Amino acid sequence: MATGINDDKDTGPARGGRRPGPATGAGRPPRGRTSDSGRVRGAGLGQDRGMADVIVVGGGIIGLTAATRLRERGAEVTVWSAQEPAETVSAVAAAAWYPTRTGPGERILAWAAASYDQFRRDAFDRVPGVLVRETRNLERSGATGEPWWAPAARGVRYHPAPAPWTREVRFRAPLVEMGEYLPWLRERLRTAGARVLRRRVDRLEEALVEAPVVVNATGLAAGPLCGDPDVLPARGQIVLVANTGIYTSVRDEGEPGTYVHPRSRDVVLGGTWQEGDWNTTPDPATRDAILERCRALVPELAGAPIVGEKVGLRPVRRGGPRVEAEKWPGGTVVHAYGHGGAGMTLCWGCADEVAALAL
Protein backbone atom coordinates (compact mmCIF):
# COMPACT_ATOMS: atom_id res chain seq x y z
CA MET A 1 0.00 0.00 0.00
CA ALA A 2 1.36 3.29 -0.33
CA THR A 3 -0.04 6.32 1.13
CA GLY A 4 -1.49 3.76 3.31
CA ILE A 5 -0.94 0.04 3.48
CA ASN A 6 0.38 -0.96 0.14
CA ASP A 7 -0.93 -3.74 -2.01
CA ASP A 8 1.30 -2.20 -4.66
CA LYS A 9 2.25 -4.55 -7.44
CA ASP A 10 4.27 -4.24 -10.57
CA THR A 11 4.78 -5.38 -14.07
CA GLY A 12 6.81 -4.22 -16.96
CA PRO A 13 5.84 -3.46 -20.49
CA ALA A 14 4.57 -6.49 -22.27
CA ARG A 15 6.83 -7.96 -24.88
CA GLY A 16 7.08 -5.47 -27.67
CA GLY A 17 5.14 -2.97 -25.56
CA ARG A 18 5.87 0.70 -25.96
CA ARG A 19 6.78 2.77 -22.93
CA PRO A 20 4.61 5.81 -22.22
CA GLY A 21 6.03 9.30 -22.15
CA PRO A 22 6.85 11.12 -18.92
CA ALA A 23 4.18 12.46 -16.63
CA THR A 24 2.97 16.00 -17.21
CA GLY A 25 5.80 18.43 -16.63
CA ALA A 26 8.41 15.76 -15.99
CA GLY A 27 11.94 16.98 -16.53
CA ARG A 28 11.01 20.40 -17.92
CA PRO A 29 9.59 23.72 -16.73
CA PRO A 30 5.89 24.36 -17.35
CA ARG A 31 5.15 25.68 -20.84
CA GLY A 32 4.66 29.38 -21.08
CA ARG A 33 5.93 30.01 -17.55
CA THR A 34 9.57 30.86 -18.02
CA SER A 35 11.14 34.28 -18.16
CA ASP A 36 13.61 35.39 -20.83
CA SER A 37 16.37 34.18 -18.53
CA GLY A 38 14.86 30.73 -18.36
CA ARG A 39 13.93 31.07 -14.69
CA VAL A 40 10.63 29.46 -13.82
CA ARG A 41 8.00 32.04 -13.00
CA GLY A 42 6.50 31.19 -9.68
CA ALA A 43 9.86 30.56 -8.02
CA GLY A 44 10.39 33.70 -5.96
CA LEU A 45 6.71 34.67 -5.88
CA GLY A 46 6.72 34.89 -2.12
CA GLN A 47 10.13 36.46 -1.67
CA ASP A 48 9.00 40.08 -1.58
CA ARG A 49 6.91 39.22 1.48
CA GLY A 50 9.61 37.12 3.10
CA MET A 51 7.65 33.95 2.49
CA ALA A 52 8.23 30.59 0.89
CA ASP A 53 7.12 30.20 -2.72
CA VAL A 54 5.26 27.01 -1.83
CA ILE A 55 4.17 25.36 1.38
CA VAL A 56 3.56 21.64 1.10
CA VAL A 57 1.12 20.47 3.76
CA GLY A 58 1.73 16.78 4.43
CA GLY A 59 4.91 14.84 5.16
CA GLY A 60 4.09 11.42 3.70
CA ILE A 61 5.42 10.05 0.42
CA ILE A 62 3.17 12.28 -1.72
CA GLY A 63 4.14 15.47 0.11
CA LEU A 64 7.88 14.78 0.31
CA THR A 65 8.23 13.82 -3.35
CA ALA A 66 6.21 16.88 -4.44
CA ALA A 67 8.43 19.11 -2.30
CA THR A 68 11.52 17.53 -3.83
CA ARG A 69 10.40 18.23 -7.40
CA LEU A 70 9.43 21.80 -6.49
CA ARG A 71 12.85 22.44 -4.94
CA GLU A 72 14.56 20.95 -8.00
CA ARG A 73 12.74 23.58 -10.08
CA GLY A 74 14.14 26.36 -7.93
CA ALA A 75 11.18 27.10 -5.67
CA GLU A 76 11.66 28.07 -2.04
CA VAL A 77 9.79 25.25 -0.32
CA THR A 78 8.57 24.64 3.22
CA VAL A 79 6.97 21.37 4.30
CA TRP A 80 4.48 21.35 7.14
CA SER A 81 3.86 17.94 8.63
CA ALA A 82 1.86 17.06 11.72
CA GLN A 83 3.89 13.85 12.09
CA GLU A 84 7.39 12.50 11.85
CA PRO A 85 7.94 10.28 8.78
CA ALA A 86 7.73 7.10 10.86
CA GLU A 87 4.30 8.18 12.15
CA THR A 88 2.70 8.70 8.74
CA VAL A 89 0.52 6.10 7.06
CA SER A 90 3.18 5.90 4.32
CA ALA A 91 5.48 4.27 6.86
CA VAL A 92 3.03 1.38 7.30
CA ALA A 93 3.01 0.66 3.58
CA ALA A 94 4.36 -2.55 2.14
CA ALA A 95 5.38 -0.16 -0.66
CA ALA A 96 5.78 -2.58 -3.54
CA TRP A 97 5.18 -0.93 -6.92
CA TYR A 98 1.75 -1.59 -8.45
CA PRO A 99 -1.27 0.67 -9.12
CA THR A 100 -3.49 -0.97 -6.54
CA ARG A 101 -7.22 -0.46 -7.08
CA THR A 102 -6.67 2.58 -9.24
CA GLY A 103 -6.74 3.39 -12.95
CA PRO A 104 -6.85 2.61 -15.76
CA GLY A 105 -6.07 5.84 -17.55
CA GLU A 106 -3.25 7.60 -19.38
CA ARG A 107 -2.59 9.97 -16.50
CA ILE A 108 -2.28 7.17 -13.92
CA LEU A 109 -0.12 5.16 -16.32
CA ALA A 110 2.24 8.11 -16.82
CA TRP A 111 2.56 8.66 -13.06
CA ALA A 112 3.21 4.96 -12.48
CA ALA A 113 5.85 4.85 -15.24
CA ALA A 114 7.71 7.90 -13.92
CA SER A 115 7.70 6.48 -10.39
CA TYR A 116 8.87 3.05 -11.55
CA ASP A 117 11.79 4.63 -13.40
CA GLN A 118 12.75 6.86 -10.46
CA PHE A 119 12.77 3.98 -7.99
CA ARG A 120 14.81 1.83 -10.38
CA ARG A 121 17.36 4.66 -10.56
CA ASP A 122 17.28 4.94 -6.77
CA ALA A 123 17.95 1.21 -6.43
CA PHE A 124 20.88 1.46 -8.86
CA ASP A 125 22.25 4.39 -6.84
CA ARG A 126 21.82 2.41 -3.59
CA VAL A 127 19.44 4.91 -2.04
CA PRO A 128 18.60 3.71 1.49
CA GLY A 129 15.56 1.47 1.63
CA VAL A 130 15.06 0.94 -2.11
CA LEU A 131 15.10 -2.67 -3.36
CA VAL A 132 14.03 -4.47 -6.52
CA ARG A 133 12.28 -7.82 -6.16
CA GLU A 134 11.38 -10.55 -8.63
CA THR A 135 7.60 -10.81 -8.42
CA ARG A 136 5.03 -13.53 -9.12
CA ASN A 137 1.54 -12.16 -9.61
CA LEU A 138 -1.13 -14.90 -9.55
CA GLU A 139 -4.27 -13.90 -11.45
CA ARG A 140 -7.76 -15.38 -11.19
CA SER A 141 -9.63 -13.27 -13.75
CA GLY A 142 -9.00 -15.41 -16.82
CA ALA A 143 -7.49 -12.42 -18.68
CA THR A 144 -5.20 -13.24 -21.59
CA GLY A 145 -4.24 -9.76 -22.81
CA GLU A 146 -1.70 -7.28 -21.59
CA PRO A 147 -2.65 -5.62 -18.28
CA TRP A 148 -3.35 -1.90 -18.73
CA TRP A 149 -0.44 -0.99 -16.44
CA ALA A 150 2.14 -3.24 -18.11
CA PRO A 151 3.72 -0.50 -20.31
CA ALA A 152 4.80 1.36 -17.16
CA ALA A 153 7.42 -1.28 -16.32
CA ARG A 154 9.76 -3.67 -18.10
CA GLY A 155 10.10 -7.34 -18.82
CA VAL A 156 6.65 -8.78 -18.16
CA ARG A 157 6.51 -12.54 -18.64
CA TYR A 158 3.41 -14.72 -18.70
CA HIS A 159 3.26 -18.32 -17.47
CA PRO A 160 0.53 -20.91 -16.93
CA ALA A 161 -0.65 -21.39 -13.36
CA PRO A 162 -2.48 -24.24 -11.62
CA ALA A 163 -6.10 -23.84 -10.50
CA PRO A 164 -7.57 -21.78 -8.93
CA TRP A 165 -5.30 -19.30 -10.74
CA THR A 166 -5.57 -18.68 -14.46
CA ARG A 167 -2.21 -17.06 -15.18
CA GLU A 168 1.06 -16.06 -13.54
CA VAL A 169 2.59 -12.70 -14.43
CA ARG A 170 6.26 -12.25 -13.57
CA PHE A 171 8.26 -9.04 -13.44
CA ARG A 172 10.78 -7.11 -11.37
CA ALA A 173 9.29 -4.49 -9.06
CA PRO A 174 10.73 -1.72 -6.90
CA LEU A 175 10.03 -2.26 -3.21
CA VAL A 176 10.70 0.52 -0.71
CA GLU A 177 11.41 0.14 2.99
CA MET A 178 9.69 3.33 4.08
CA GLY A 179 11.30 3.36 7.51
CA GLU A 180 14.60 4.14 5.78
CA TYR A 181 13.45 5.95 2.65
CA LEU A 182 11.19 8.62 4.17
CA PRO A 183 13.84 9.96 6.63
CA TRP A 184 16.41 9.93 3.79
CA LEU A 185 14.04 11.89 1.54
CA ARG A 186 13.36 14.43 4.28
CA GLU A 187 17.09 14.96 4.90
CA ARG A 188 17.69 15.25 1.17
CA LEU A 189 15.14 18.08 1.10
CA ARG A 190 16.79 19.85 4.02
CA THR A 191 20.22 19.53 2.43
CA ALA A 192 18.79 21.08 -0.76
CA GLY A 193 17.63 24.11 1.23
CA ALA A 194 13.99 23.30 1.95
CA ARG A 195 12.51 23.74 5.41
CA VAL A 196 10.67 20.83 7.03
CA LEU A 197 8.61 21.82 10.05
CA ARG A 198 6.44 19.94 12.53
CA ARG A 199 3.14 21.77 12.25
CA ARG A 200 -0.52 20.77 12.25
CA VAL A 201 -3.15 22.78 10.39
CA ASP A 202 -6.88 23.06 10.93
CA ARG A 203 -7.47 25.09 7.76
CA LEU A 204 -5.45 25.36 4.54
CA GLU A 205 -5.85 29.13 4.77
CA GLU A 206 -3.26 29.03 7.56
CA ALA A 207 -0.65 28.10 4.94
CA LEU A 208 -1.92 30.61 2.37
CA VAL A 209 -1.14 33.38 4.84
CA GLU A 210 2.54 32.41 4.56
CA ALA A 211 2.89 31.38 0.89
CA PRO A 212 1.10 32.19 -2.37
CA VAL A 213 0.91 28.51 -3.32
CA VAL A 214 -0.03 25.59 -1.08
CA VAL A 215 0.17 21.90 -1.97
CA ASN A 216 -2.52 19.91 -0.21
CA ALA A 217 -0.92 16.49 0.31
CA THR A 218 -2.81 15.73 3.51
CA GLY A 219 -4.22 12.29 2.69
CA LEU A 220 -7.32 11.47 4.73
CA ALA A 221 -7.26 14.93 6.32
CA ALA A 222 -8.05 16.41 2.90
CA GLY A 223 -11.68 15.43 3.36
CA PRO A 224 -12.43 17.94 6.14
CA LEU A 225 -9.75 20.44 5.05
CA CYS A 226 -11.31 21.05 1.65
CA GLY A 227 -14.82 19.70 2.13
CA ASP A 228 -14.42 16.63 -0.07
CA PRO A 229 -17.06 14.02 0.83
CA ASP A 230 -15.45 11.41 -1.44
CA VAL A 231 -12.42 10.87 0.83
CA LEU A 232 -12.59 7.78 3.03
CA PRO A 233 -10.23 5.28 4.68
CA ALA A 234 -9.52 1.77 3.48
CA ARG A 235 -8.20 -0.12 6.48
CA GLY A 236 -5.24 -2.39 5.89
CA GLN A 237 -3.68 -4.78 8.38
CA ILE A 238 -0.29 -6.38 7.88
CA VAL A 239 1.84 -8.91 9.74
CA LEU A 240 5.64 -8.77 9.82
CA VAL A 241 7.67 -11.97 10.12
CA ALA A 242 11.43 -12.49 10.14
CA ASN A 243 12.96 -13.01 6.71
CA THR A 244 14.54 -16.44 6.82
CA GLY A 245 15.67 -16.42 3.18
CA ILE A 246 12.77 -15.26 0.97
CA TYR A 247 13.57 -12.93 -1.91
CA THR A 248 10.57 -13.15 -4.27
CA SER A 249 7.33 -11.21 -3.88
CA VAL A 250 4.12 -13.19 -4.44
CA ARG A 251 0.57 -11.90 -4.84
CA ASP A 252 -2.74 -13.70 -5.11
CA GLU A 253 -5.30 -11.37 -6.66
CA GLY A 254 -8.29 -13.07 -5.07
CA GLU A 255 -10.60 -11.45 -2.52
CA PRO A 256 -9.25 -10.58 -0.08
CA GLY A 257 -5.95 -10.09 -1.82
CA THR A 258 -2.97 -11.90 -0.34
CA TYR A 259 0.62 -10.75 -0.68
CA VAL A 260 4.10 -11.65 0.52
CA HIS A 261 6.71 -8.89 0.17
CA PRO A 262 10.24 -9.74 1.40
CA ARG A 263 12.29 -6.82 2.66
CA SER A 264 15.90 -6.93 3.82
CA ARG A 265 15.18 -8.10 7.38
CA ASP A 266 11.49 -8.97 7.48
CA VAL A 267 8.62 -10.04 5.24
CA VAL A 268 5.38 -8.05 4.94
CA LEU A 269 2.29 -10.26 4.88
CA GLY A 270 -1.16 -9.00 3.96
CA GLY A 271 -3.70 -8.01 3.49
CA THR A 272 -7.10 -6.43 3.98
CA TRP A 273 -9.09 -3.69 2.24
CA GLN A 274 -11.87 -2.47 4.52
CA GLU A 275 -13.38 0.76 3.23
CA GLY A 276 -14.90 3.10 5.77
CA ASP A 277 -13.22 1.35 8.73
CA TRP A 278 -11.31 3.77 10.99
CA ASN A 279 -10.09 1.13 13.47
CA THR A 280 -6.28 1.22 13.80
CA THR A 281 -6.01 -1.59 16.36
CA PRO A 282 -4.70 -4.91 14.96
CA ASP A 283 -7.34 -7.64 15.06
CA PRO A 284 -6.09 -11.11 16.19
CA ALA A 285 -8.55 -13.00 13.97
CA THR A 286 -7.46 -10.95 10.95
CA ARG A 287 -3.81 -11.62 11.81
CA ASP A 288 -4.42 -15.36 11.95
CA ALA A 289 -6.28 -15.31 8.63
CA ILE A 290 -3.43 -13.40 6.96
CA LEU A 291 -0.86 -15.86 8.29
CA GLU A 292 -2.90 -18.84 7.09
CA ARG A 293 -3.32 -17.46 3.56
CA CYS A 294 0.30 -16.36 3.23
CA ARG A 295 1.73 -19.65 4.50
CA ALA A 296 -0.45 -21.53 2.03
CA LEU A 297 0.83 -19.26 -0.75
CA VAL A 298 4.50 -19.44 0.32
CA PRO A 299 5.09 -22.58 2.46
CA GLU A 300 8.63 -21.41 3.29
CA LEU A 301 7.03 -18.94 5.71
CA ALA A 302 6.09 -21.74 8.09
CA GLY A 303 7.92 -21.26 11.35
CA ALA A 304 9.06 -17.70 10.63
CA PRO A 305 8.62 -15.79 13.90
CA ILE A 306 6.23 -12.84 14.01
CA VAL A 307 8.12 -9.60 14.64
CA GLY A 308 5.27 -7.11 14.38
CA GLU A 309 1.84 -6.18 13.11
CA LYS A 310 0.45 -2.85 11.98
CA VAL A 311 -2.70 -1.19 10.73
CA GLY A 312 -2.80 1.72 8.30
CA LEU A 313 -5.67 3.71 6.83
CA ARG A 314 -5.22 4.21 3.10
CA PRO A 315 -6.44 7.63 1.90
CA VAL A 316 -8.95 6.53 -0.72
CA ARG A 317 -11.00 8.91 -2.86
CA ARG A 318 -14.06 7.89 -4.84
CA GLY A 319 -13.29 8.82 -8.44
CA GLY A 320 -9.53 8.45 -7.97
CA PRO A 321 -6.71 10.80 -6.94
CA ARG A 322 -7.34 14.52 -7.04
CA VAL A 323 -4.42 16.40 -8.57
CA GLU A 324 -5.41 19.87 -9.75
CA ALA A 325 -4.90 23.56 -9.03
CA GLU A 326 -7.68 25.58 -7.46
CA LYS A 327 -7.85 29.32 -6.86
CA TRP A 328 -8.62 30.25 -3.27
CA PRO A 329 -9.09 33.79 -1.90
CA GLY A 330 -5.55 33.82 -0.48
CA GLY A 331 -3.72 32.20 -3.40
CA THR A 332 -3.54 28.85 -5.19
CA VAL A 333 -4.05 25.41 -3.69
CA VAL A 334 -2.67 22.45 -5.63
CA HIS A 335 -4.47 19.35 -4.45
CA ALA A 336 -2.57 16.05 -4.37
CA TYR A 337 -4.51 13.46 -2.40
CA GLY A 338 -6.66 10.37 -2.72
CA HIS A 339 -4.01 7.92 -3.97
CA GLY A 340 -5.36 5.10 -1.81
CA GLY A 341 -3.07 2.06 -1.77
CA ALA A 342 -0.96 3.27 -4.70
CA GLY A 343 0.82 6.26 -3.18
CA MET A 344 4.31 4.83 -3.53
CA THR A 345 3.53 3.64 -7.07
CA LEU A 346 2.31 7.04 -8.27
CA CYS A 347 4.28 9.48 -6.11
CA TRP A 348 7.12 10.64 -8.37
CA GLY A 349 4.97 10.99 -11.48
CA CYS A 350 2.35 12.83 -9.46
CA ALA A 351 5.08 15.07 -8.03
CA ASP A 352 6.11 16.08 -11.56
CA GLU A 353 2.56 17.19 -12.29
CA VAL A 354 2.18 18.98 -8.97
CA ALA A 355 5.34 20.98 -9.66
CA ALA A 356 4.08 21.94 -13.12
CA LEU A 357 0.77 23.09 -11.67
CA ALA A 358 2.35 25.03 -8.81
CA LEU A 359 4.96 27.05 -10.68
Is 227 annotated to bind a ligand? Reply is no
Is 68 annotated to bind a ligand? Reply is no
Burial of 266 (0-12, 13-18, 19+ CB in 10 A): buried
Is 42 annotated to bind a ligand? Reply is no
Is 314 annotated to bind a ligand? Reply is yes
Is 280 annotated to bind a ligand? Reply is no
Is 201 annotated to bind a ligand? Reply is yes
Q: Rounded to an integer, what distance in angstroms lies between the CA atom of residue 138 and that of residue 125?
A: 30
Q: Rounded to an integer, what distance in angstroms lies between the CA atom of residue 63 and that of residue 2?
A: 13
Is 116 annotated to bind a ligand? Reply is no
CB 336 within 8 A of CB 350: yes
Q: Rounded to an integer, what distance in angstroms lies between the CA atom of residue 3 and that of residue 343?
A: 4
Is 127 annotated to bind a ligand? Reply is no
130: CB partners within 8 A, 6+ apart = 119, 122, 123, 174, 175, 176, 177, 181
CB 161 within 8 A of CB 168: yes
Residue 49 DSSP code? G
Buried b (16+ CB within 10 A) or exposed e, 235-263: bbbbbbbbbeebeebbbbbeeebbbbbbb
Is 250 annotated to bind a ligand? Reply is no
CB 69 within 8 A of CB 350: no
CA 51, 57, 60, 63 dihedral sign is negative
Is 43 annotated to bind a ligand? Reply is no
Binding residues for D-dopa: 259, 314, 341
Residues at the annotated binding site?
A: 201, 218, 259, 314, 340-345
* Sequence ranges of the binding site for FAD: 201, 218, 340-345
